Structure 1
Amino acid sequence: METTAASRRWCGARDPVAFSRWVADRAAGVGPHLAPVIRVGRCPQGHLAAEVLHAATRSLEDTLDVLGVPTEGVAVTLTVPLLELAARARSGAVELGVVALGAVGVDETGAILVADRPPGAVDACADGLPAAPGAESGAEPGPSSRAQAGPSTRVQAGPSTREQAGPSTRVQAGPPHPRDLDGARQLVTAARMVWDRVDSRSEARRTLDPALDAARDGDADTVAGALDLVVGAAPPRPVRWSTPGPTFPDEEPAGTGAPAHDQIGPDGVVGMLIRAVLDVLERGVPAGHRRRVPVRHVVVGAVVTGGLVTAATHLR
């Protein structure tokens, strides 16, 4: 895989109630397709904090680029977990945060993993001041923030400061749209993206495309109906990370020719052969399911057999 496992720490400085609800739901275990909480504690500022494990995955978009045109069975394997999570989130069975497009990944076994952003969370506070609520979303400061900025702050903002702050500074990005904060909608969108890569001539797409479009903003029953259609579209098939074939007939397939530098290392072909030889020398030659014959006995037997064959040949 192209990525490695890592972890990320969040704290509920923005909305402690929403973050606490998410931590309580996630710490209880919500299945294999959501990033798990591995530790819970307090940040230096006293906020509830949680460490989330991000497993080694390849993003869904990169996965589809590698697969090219996935079959209906592979599309079912990738989209059923997404729609199951979306249906549970719409029904209130799972507390789901914001799901960015890059937060949906596929591990080396072909399983879907979702690393959502907890609601009301910011990056865990360091020793300094915590991040102000709304700082990341670019929201306008509330009345309490203006009240804290006393008269001295207004005096410092003189004409020179206004000249430095041009027209671009006055235009601030507003808070994100509520539809972008709907994790269930993002999961259905990811499922729709998978089926967009399936052959357009497929019979299943004629019914699935409208159903998935309706499930984006639909209720739990609408998402469950789309899930039933996906399950009945085709039998699930595993995701295979195969090497693509040559583009032209006269080209050599990828991976042939001279061995690459990493193939000579401890994890390459030569390293595998060395480990196999050492295993035979140390543990013996496999003979059956659980039995091994020492190499010395095999060599002695081969010499004796060769001598007997030679003697029998000369006697004739």
Structure 2
Amino acid sequence: MIKVGVAGYGVIGQRLADGVAKQKDMELVGVADVAPTLAIRALKEKGMPYNLYLANPDNAKAFEELNIPVSGTLEDMIQKCDVILDATSAGVGAKNKELYAKYNKKAIFQGGEKNSVADVFFHGYANYEKGLGKQFLKLTSCNTTGLIRSVDCLDRLYGIEKVAITIVRRVADPGDYHRGLTNALQVDKAPSHQAVDLMTIMPHIEATGILIHTPVTHGHIITVVAKGKKKITKEMALEAFKSHDRIRVVRLADGFLGNASLFRYARDLGNPRGDMYEIAVWEESIVESGDDIMYAINIPQEAVTIPETMDAVRACMEMETDRLKAVAETNKYLGLGKWK
């Protein structure tokens, strides 16, 4: 049983902890954080299902005053783990890396860290083999994770030469107060980092993209124009997407009108926090344009990277060397593909 710890119990860290807890071949040692945040207070109110470790022992008194039990320090947790999933704020993971190296532990970083923090820039479907046995892996961002899922899906079946993307990006997560737009859209300089990141993971594909920040909090939407090595028809693309366990094909005709429809559907399913691990592609958005194929996908930014992080554990710990078997294990434990 692989022992896993989660450093940082925020938006991603909470979901990583839940994801690990669902894996029958992994054991969650605990989670670590610096302060009694709302997420930590909720953890206490739920009966402390996960052991809690202090990333900053100087804050111990704040936890004591709230009667929040702790099991030790971040260093204590690290020593008990085989691999740590670092979901701390951007830049903190690079500092934590010194501790992971000190105890010769493996670590997986989220997309906010610089690529230089890791041995491999990782995606479970697109380059699983490159992560095998490596000490430090870094995940792609939420947008890049979902984008690569869809492009890799088409590429492995039909071959993709080039993609051009437009990202309609939510500006902040629900509950964030530190930034936002009001009655405005904001355009980033092209090419977007997601297009550049895709080329890093899949160097045989040329990519470019534009990103637009929007004043919403639930999900990103990406439109993709892809050029195949041969013409890809709508029927071919639809068949490919329907075969993928991390892609849900939805229809406008059924009431899936946009990002909010998917968020509400996840809540109606009873998914914790209204999360979806899968991306969604709108069937009516799949259109042929000359020799190109175009489609639109929804990215549930808070949970979409969780499956690929579980894949990363399997790769770096060499739990499974076969890519398809590895992602299938992750999918099984997370309940992905059950809607088919």
TM exceeding 0.5:
no
Q: Which has the higher strand share?
A: 2
With normalisation by structure 2, the TM-score equals 0.18
Higher relative contact order (CA 8 A, sep 6+): 1
Q: Which has the larger radius of gyration?
A: 1
Flag the structure with higher helix content: 1
